[in-house]
Amino acid sequence: MMLPTIPTPDELLDKGFRRGKKAADLRRGEKMPKRLKGKRIEETRVITACQVIKDRLKMILDRTPEIEELPEFYQDYIDITVGVDDFKQALGAVNWAYGIITQLEKEYGAKIRKAPSERATGLRKQAYGRISSVVHKIEKDLDFLDFAKQSLRNMPTVDFDAISIVIAGFPNVGKSTLLTHITDAEPQVANYPFTTKGIQIGHFEKRWQHYQIIDTPGLLDRPIGDMNDIELNAMVALEHLADAILFIFDASETCGYALENQYNLLEEIKNVFDAPIIYLFNKMDISDYDGARHDYVQEYIDKTENPLLISAAEGEGLEEIIQLIQQVEKREIAEEDEDEYEDDENYFDLT
């Protein structure tokens, strides 16, 4: 997501005051009574400074998308990454500053026009002092918005018309091998909270339907029991996105996790996710399924529904996976209660 560049308070003020001075300097050449001219110059300075600062604040507000209007997944993402409430609070502060500067512009414009000419400079200085105090009051909010911009820079680009499949399974079971074999071109790599290498999104198209396969190293590959709330939220955001989960077992156990542990992870994921699950047993080529380990592996295969036995590295079973994925339907997620985000009016009050 592209967010606007955020100035520091000093950058904002410097620009406003510099432009104010420039505009005032242009007036110096005008022909008018000296008494009036002094006042016009100071009035111009104040009004121009206010307008330049206001324009910049307005640009920040206009170019920041309305969070409520974003798809649920992005709202979740922003909430997990920077916090939706803090984000709205910061935008509210910018809006507040905009309002106060509008008032100061009117107030001091009128004051300078009405006052005796010798007071014009004093009034302009007073206006500048108040403008600067307002802009400095939103320093932490501008800081926050800048932090949000950096944090949300490499947000995953999700295609909401596509059918989304989220891969789960312990590290080294073959998730990325599978992703690169069933999707074309380079997968998109984006930041995602609590993932070690970010998430990878690969795409493929079949019969005019678009599919995206999402791998989340570091998130859906470890026990859920010891996750904290934010980590759980990061998972739930994926759950909102997933039309199905592709759970991968490593039948060879060369990933370093026994099938029993892998099965426990599956159970945990089932508890958290409502999405249907596609079961894959990978690395069948080195699992010794045809030999001594047959009964042992078979026990876990029997515990799952319609599992596919594959070898991602050798390209075995990939067509069957694609066929199963093609049966996945877009999941309708019940709209969540949105009340908690509705009272936008209240976060402007920072006095």
Nearer to ligand GTP, 120 or 220 (CB): 220
Place of tokens 């009272």: 343
- Which of 313, 318, 333, 350 is the binder for ligand GTP (CB under 6 A)? 313
In the range 169-188, which residues lie near ligand GTP by CB under 6 A?
Answer: 171-177
Element (H, E) at 212: strand 209-215
- Note whether 190 and 198 are within 8 A (CB): yes
In the range 116-175, which residues lie near ligand GTP by CB under 6 A?
Answer: 171-175
Of 179, 164, 171, give the one whose Cα is nearest residue 71.
Answer: 164
- Note whether 295 and 263 are within 8 A (CB): no
Q: What is the identity of the amino acid at 3?
A: L
Q: How far is the CB of 316 from ligand GTP (least distance, A)?
A: 7
Nearer to ligand GTP, 105 or 215 (CB): 215
Would you give the binding string for ligand GTP spanning residues 79-108, x where CB under 6 A is met? ------------------------------
Query: By CB under 6 A, is residue 217 in contact with ligand GTP?
Result: yes
Q: Which DSSP string corresponds to 216-255?
A: -TTTTTS-STT--HHHHHHHHHHHHH-SEEEEEEETT-TT
Only one of the segments 38-46, 75-83, 206-214, 308-316 lies at the binding site for ligand GTP (rule: CB under 6 A); that segment is 308-316
Nearer to ligand GTP, 164 or 252 (CB): 252
- Which of 72, 285, 288, 344 is the binder for ligand GTP (CB under 6 A)? 285
Query: By CB under 6 A, is residue 317 in contact with ligand GTP?
Result: no
Residue sitting closest to ligand GTP (CB): 174
Name 246's Cβ contacts closer than 8 Å, sequence gap at least 6.
165, 166, 167, 168, 178, 213, 277, 278, 280, 321, 325
- Which of 48, 81, 164, 282 is the binder for ligand GTP (CB under 6 A)? 282
Nearer to ligand GTP, 232 or 286 (CB): 286
- Which of 312, 321, 325, 328 is the binder for ligand GTP (CB under 6 A)? 312
Q: Which DSSP string corresponds to 82-113?
A: T-HHHHHHHHHHHHHHHHHHHHHHHHHHHHHH
Q: Which residues of 309-337 are buried (b: 16+ CB within 10 A; e: fewer)?
A: bbbbeeeebbeebeebbeebeebeeeeee
- Which of 311, 321, 325, 328 is the binder for ligand GTP (CB under 6 A)? 311
- Which of 39, 88, 240, 283 is the binder for ligand GTP (CB under 6 A)? 283
Q: How far is the CB of 202 from ligand GTP (least distance, A)?
A: 12
Cα 79–Cα 83–Cα 86 angle in degrees, nearest 5: 140
Cα 64–Cα 15–Cα 142 angle in degrees, nearest 5: 35
Nearer to ligand GTP, 56 or 283 (CB): 283
| CA distances (Å), origin 295, targets 153, 287, 291, 299 | 49, 11, 9, 6
Only one of the segments 23-31, 182-190, 226-234, 309-317 lies at the binding site for ligand GTP (rule: CB under 6 A); that segment is 309-317
Interacting residue ranges for ligand GTP, rule: CB under 6 A: 171-177, 217, 221, 282-283, 285-286, 311-314
